[in-house]
Amino acid sequence: MEVIEIQNEIGNVVAKVSPERGFNLFSLMVDEIELLWSDTDFLAGSASASGSGTPILFPFPGRLKGKSYNYGGQEYHIDSDDGSGNAIHGFVLNRPWRVIETSKERIVGEFQPSIDDLGVLAQWPSDFIIRCTYEAQPDGISATYFIENPGELDLPCGLGTHAYFRVPVGQGIAEEAIVTCPVTERWTLEKLLATGNVECLDSSEPLGRGIRFGDITLDDVFSGVSFADGRATATISNPSSGKALLYTWDEACELCVIYTPPHREAICLEPYTLVPGGLAFETGEHGLIELKSGESFSHSMEIRLR
């Protein structure tokens, strides 16, 4: 599969993107340290599109309850399946995107069902445009996601990203890595779908202060995200080297899923605009975004090495 590489001006940051596999940023080398984890079969197409790099989840992150969605009095049937009878992670993470701009330091990709995959149109209430821009920075990469409704009908949606960060950062012992995430609440899940119940974290789960990677096994939804100057910051630190990965995102995503894959070579930090199963919730806090014709929203994040 085609791989497009971008790098910053001095060449210490090198990023690789696969347009054919959902415009996935699957490799990010900073000062010769690989920050992202990808399956060795990812580019061959035989590994799950949601299991490597930085999958983009749209128009719904996480699961639906079942494989159909009722909106505006009409039922839409979704093709994907999580193995338990639920649709999962939207339509754009496993389909080819168009590259609409590229330079040494920057690449822009776009996906629109009416242009790129007519089969998606029957599965969702409206056409949509999702555009992603990756740009190499002095110490990492920035990403911006722009969503627009070009159709005449309302577009219900949620956005998330699903980055697999290598643990540890550089050489060291994975279990000794320290993870922080600025969250204070956990959603109660039932079969990985939000029930609507939210509880405050107690002192045994000090994610805000830092917790050993070896002490956590998670596939959980958190909220109560703390933002400073409009940005939230999660970190993965390597005590043996002093290196740390900083992951920041804006206030468009008020939730963060944290997932520890069974292989224990990575941790997923996943900012979401919408809780898994949240398409059943009313518009509002942690709920559904509904874009009228011509309306749009955006989200941005950065991955840096310090």
| pLDDT, the chain, mean | 95
Most confident of 57-61, 205-209, 286-290: 57-61
Lowest mean pLDDT among 62-66, 230-234, 289-293: 62-66
pLDDT of residue 283: 47
In the block, which residue shows the tokens 């933002």? 227
pLDDT of residue 282: 57
C-alpha 182 chain-centroid distance: 17
In the CATH scheme, what is the code of domain 4-305? 2.70.98.10
Q: Which two tokens stand for residue 288?
A: 């559904």
Q: Which two tokens stand for residue 65?
A: 């309850």
Whether the bond into 59 is cis, omega within 30 of 0: yes
Alpha carbons 249 and 232: distance in angstroms, whole number: 5
Task: State what percent of residues in the chain have pLDDT above 90.
Answer: 89
pLDDT, tens digit, 9 for 90 and up, residues 274-291:
998 888 665 455 678 999
Domain coordinates in residue numbering, the chain: 4-305
Task: Reduce the DSSP state of residue 81 to 3 states and report it.
Answer: coil
pTM of the predicted model as reported, rounded to 2 decimal places: 0.96
pLDDT, tens digit, 9 for 90 and up, residues 106-155:
999 999 999 999 999 999 999 999 999 999 999 999 999 999 999 999 99
